[in-house]
Amino acid sequence: MSLHPITHLPTHDVFNQVPILEDYDLFGTDVVLQQAVAREGAGWAAERMGTYGRVLGTADVIEAGRLANVHPPELRTFDRTGQRIDEAEFHPAYHTMMRLGMAHGVHNAAWTATERGGHVAHCALEYLHAQVEAGTCCPLTMTYAVVPSLQHEPEVAAAWVPRATASAYDPRMMPVEGKTAATLGMAMTEKQGGSDIRANTTQAVPDGDGWRLRGHKWFCSAPMCDAFLTLAQTAQGITCFLVPRWLPDGTRNRFFIQRLKDKLGNKSNASSEIEYDGTWAMKVGEVGRGVPTIIEMVHHTRLDCTVAAAALGRAALVQAVHHACHRKAFGARLVEQPLMRNVLADLAVEVEASAILALRVARAYDDAQAGDEQAARFGRIAVAIAKYWTNKRCPALVAEAMECLGGAGYVEEGPLPRLYREAPLNGIWEGSGNVICLDVLRAASKDPGTVQALLAELDGGRGLDRRLDAAIDRVHAELADSDFLAWRARRLTESAALALQGLLVVRHADPAVAEAFLATRLAGDWGLAFGTLPAGTDSTAILRRAWPAVEA
């Protein structure tokens, strides 16, 4: 951006245009995030988050986030001599975003923290990162989430976890033994099965100290990574394996990228279709126990999908409020006009409820890591509930924020179209809506303690507000009714999500935010679109909490 743009053109003067939002502090302007980080146990990392928030808000980094998506990765199947290499080639801006994410610990904060709260710190850092560039969150998330699964195979973990948790970025395509850091991905689903991974047909046979795989993977996330957690059939059943890009002898593994997926959004991130044909792999976990082994990685990636949805909502809200604070129409700034204030305040309530739910679930992961079994059970069911609901709200939220900018919001020069294309993604990845809601039922069926932990969490809020009490009663009733459970799975999950959010806003949000949430989301004094908050809502308090510039 030019520091001194020309504002006088031959036919007209340029005025009443909104300045580009850049060189601002993502963490310092987010009171909700600051309070949640302190409350959920990661206050010790606030300085790191502040530093990263300021870095991410610079004009250069915002531009890098844009360029990484304008110039998506390209598949290089062969090098110039005809040797097969199967590599994804990225624009330098992609590497800039990856280098920043790994240097600031987005991928490793949960595992390198010396105090409890590492998962909260990780989620807060990812929440900041995703607002500027969401595509790189995929390899950052996979590298974070792979650690618990690798620990099922101590020898593999000893070789790979230190590199996966290094605070560095090393994109070189070479054997991991010579690298300063590694990234890891996942290759799980196949054409015929999708989410039904027990329908996978990829085969694995023993070969000395390792295994050889043959088959295809319909989605391989982040194929430029150094290794991939994958599933294959053995004589004893589905087993989890780690597939490195390079063999122990220093030659390339038989890992064939057939194509990169042309996705709706998430353009900076390479998603691929791959083939195994005599591909060497290392077993991870017990033979025949591949699903329980890899599901630990999925349990952590689902947390990040929850956080990412909240982050996209925050990014869209900030753009909308910033625009409204500067743009004038009909004699006043948009932010001063009642109906626009209604819309913006409604969006702010939604964003806050999503963010504080995500970080509350993250604290359950920290508590579980410290040995709290009740927290582990709560996190098991709550992450599915939260992932489902925050992602169902995200596309509508981003669309409404885009509308706040009018036609300018729909133009590719601005950030809203990219956010809009990104908005449905995390609701599909790591289990789409139906899969997630059925997983809530599965968790309840396999371990009734998960339901008890959920209800204990909710019942702790009884007496705070009659509308919250009624919402908690609805969750009890939904869970007690065993009829048509699969048919009702979405309604049950939604009820639980709203009750959890209601509990959190009553306890921790500004009273104006809490009142707006309770009146609309729980008591039904709401329309069918954003911008239908009841008369008398304290929009000033809500908007000042969401964006400090509203006070000006």
Is residue 258 within 8 A of residue 275, CB to CB? The reply is yes
Is residue 176 within 8 A of residue 246, CB to CB? The reply is yes
Tell me the average pLDDT across 365-383: 98
CA dist., res. 293 & res. 213, Å (int): 18
pLDDT digits (tens, 9 = 90+) for 424-451: 999 999 999 999 999 999 999 999 999 9
What topology is assigned to 292-551 in CATH?
Butyryl-CoA Dehydrogenase, subunit A; domain 3 (1.20.140)
pLDDT of residue 196: 84
Rounded to the nearest angstrom, the gap between the alpha carbon of residue 311 and the centroid of all alpha carbons in its chain is 8
pLDDT of residue 3: 63
pLDDT digits (tens, 9 = 90+) for 502-550: 999 999 999 999 999 999 999 999 999 999 999 999 999 999 999 998 8
pLDDT of residue 5: 78
Amino acid in position 52: Y
Tell me the average pLDDT across 159-185: 97
DSSP reduced 3-state for 497: helix
Is residue 259 within 8 A of residue 273, CB to CB? The reply is yes
CA dist., res. 433 & res. 454, Å (int): 20
For the chain, the structural domain boundaries read 31-178, 184-290, 292-551
| 184-290: CATH number | 2.40.110.20
- Least confident piece of the model among 12-16, 271-275, 511-515: 12-16
pLDDT of residue 199: 87
pLDDT of residue 342: 98
pLDDT of residue 194: 81
- Residue ranges of the alpha helices (H) in 327-371? 338-369
Strand partners, 81: none
Tell me the average pLDDT across 300-321: 98
CA dist., res. 391 & res. 535, Å (int): 28
Estimate the crossing angle of helix 466-480 against helix 448-459, to 10 degrees. Answer: 170
pLDDT of residue 549: 87
pLDDT of residue 56: 98
Is residue 547 within 8 A of residue 31, CB to CB? The reply is no
pLDDT digits (tens, 9 = 90+) for 44-102: 999 999 999 999 999 999 999 999 999 999 999 999 999 999 999 999 999 999 999 99
| Mean pLDDT score of the chain | 96
Strand partners, 452: none
Tell me the average pLDDT across 241-248: 97
Count other C-beta atoms under 10 Å from residue 328's C-beta.
13
**Quick one: which of 77, 80, 96, 99 has its CA closest to 88?**
77
pLDDT of residue 4: 73
**Parallel, antiparallel or unpaired: strands 227-234 and 184-187:** parallel
CA dist., res. 509 & res. 354, Å (int): 12
- Would you say residue 2 has pLDDT above 70? no
pLDDT of residue 21: 97
pLDDT of residue 6: 80
Quickly state the pLDDT bin for 9 (edges 50, 70, 90): confident
Quickly state the pLDDT bin for 7 (edges 50, 70, 90): confident
The token pair that represents 400 in the structure block: 């409404």
Tell me the average pLDDT across 343-354: 98
pLDDT digits (tens, 9 = 90+) for 99-143: 999 999 999 999 999 999 999 999 999 999 999 999 999 999 999
Report if pTM > 0.85. yes
Cα 318 to Cα 20, 312, 344, 374, 533: the distances in Å are: 12, 10, 10, 36, 19
